[in-house]
Chains A and B, each alone.
Chain A
């Protein structure tokens, strides 16, 4: 009843709280999944963040990317705790800007964006963590870890979009189409 009586601004706040509560829950599940099992695992955070950032502002994207990057670094057991944050900030802010100016917000574009992002992420990681140090057998890492990780992440991308889309649909404030609708505020 209280929700129905709320003004549009209040409703927007309620929706935002509900939306972010669900996002945090999803990201928490991603953080747990990334460390479960053996073998190569996808970076669940990249498609999830891209799907979320499609509809959010630049500041939100930057902070979300930074925090998700820290969680990735913790899961990867990295000594440079913040390495992924910098890449994730670029990916998330980049997604927000690209989707606002150039791309339609649909599933195919989200998957394409995820593919490009995970590819860039893996290349940077491969260079800074393996190739740069001249370890013996770095080619193995690229073919057996980086490439499968890219493929698995791409495979997870449509699922991420399917999970995020209903949340956006249900909890994202609808734009007022007419002056009368806007005046109701």
Chain B
């Protein structure tokens, strides 16, 4: 046995290990771009994974219908109650909208959210093995116009961000991930904070809104949407509802537990937002001799052209993927 460690064989094996270490370091240096080896494996395996995953989904759906029928009945009842609640809120909506339109005209704010371009519908071909955050792989990549760090959404709300990209497929990290921060705002109370994942909450498919002001008015059931300030995510995309609120241990800020509108474990297809208009943070300009400050109305610029600027922006509304999990 001792002879093995002194043999040429052992030295050759160490060289082989060093070669694979080199591949690893090279892949890290490429950032989110998939290496040739990774793309090769993905290209060979992905078509089979796609078919097997589709079959697996069908089977689990059939089993689910039999085993979870009671839960569906309960969910149906809760959704009906929610619809009734929303209908009550809708009564005043038209009046408020008309009033809002008049006020907008009065102060001269331009209408519309600008240009948004999305990819064709992307099918989830595989879910990353043993990942607590529900990371998944979609069947569209660079050749479909998708870029690294493009936001991903469904009709229900925000899902996550493209963190790795190959020619024909991409990896999407969900908002449940602790490596991803999304600037968010509460629709009802206008309190702002940052959505960040958490390993313990990710197990229940939830995430956390942190850096809330300690005097915030966020309450259970409030709707949280993306604020879009940094330009990494579009503004106004639904993130989820508040299920719980509390104070951080430090006592300086508060937090809210968010149940995402999109059930990460159940989605089968998503869209990638390839281009959207970015809302810049309000710019404070001193005016007059007294030094009073006025706030400029938000300007819109192309986010795709200014992603680097977005990453450098300071303030509470910072949205950028953090260094990766390596």
Contacts and interface: CB of A to CB of B under 8 A. Distances in A.
A59 B49 CA distance: 30
Given A77-B171, A85-B23, A101 B132 contact: no
Interface string B261-283: 00001000000000000000000
Interface of B is mostly: helix
Contacts of B21: 82, 86
Contacts of A31: 41, 45
Given A74-B41, A77-B171, A79-B27, A35 B49 contact: yes
Contacts of A62: 12-13, 16-17
Interface stretch (A8-16, A109-117, A138-146, A168-176): A138-146
Contact of A32 (B49, B128, B131, B203): B49
A35 B200 contact: no
A89 B127 contact: no
Give the bracket for the number of chain A residues in contact with chain B. Answer: 35 or more
A79 B13 contact: no
A82 B135 contact: no
Contacts of A105: none
A37 interface: yes
A41 B130 CA distance: 6
A93 B13 CA distance: 8
Interface in A33-49: 33-38, 40-41, 43
Interface residues of B, number: 51
A82 B23 CA distance: 6
Contacts of B200: 136-137, 140
Interface string B21-52: 11111011000100101100110010011001
Contacts of B23: 70, 81-82, 85
A119 interface: no
Contacts of B35: 81
B9 interface: yes
A76 B178 contact: no
A50 to B, nearest CB: 16
A80 B199 contact: no
Nearest to B16: A62
B118 interface: no
B41 A141 contact: no
Contacts of A86: 17, 20-21, 24
Contacts of A82: 20-25, 27
B95 interface: no
B178 A77 contact: no
Interface of A is mostly: helix
Interface centre among A31, A62, A101 (most CB of B within 10 A): A62
Contacts of B49: 32, 35-36
B60 interface: yes
B326 interface: yes
Nearest to B134: A38
B309 interface: no
A3 interface: no
Contacts of B17: 62, 66, 85-86, 89-90
B198 interface: yes
Contacts of B129: 34-35, 41, 43, 75-76
A82 B32 CA distance: 15
A136 B178 contact: yes
A137 B20 contact: no
Given A28-B48, A36-B49, A97-B4, 6 more contacts: A35-B128, A37-B127, A59-B13, A59-B16, A62-B17, A82-B20
10 contacts: A35-B128, A37-B60, A38-B60, A73-B38, A75-B126, A77-B135, A77-B137, A89-B16, A137-B200, A140-B199
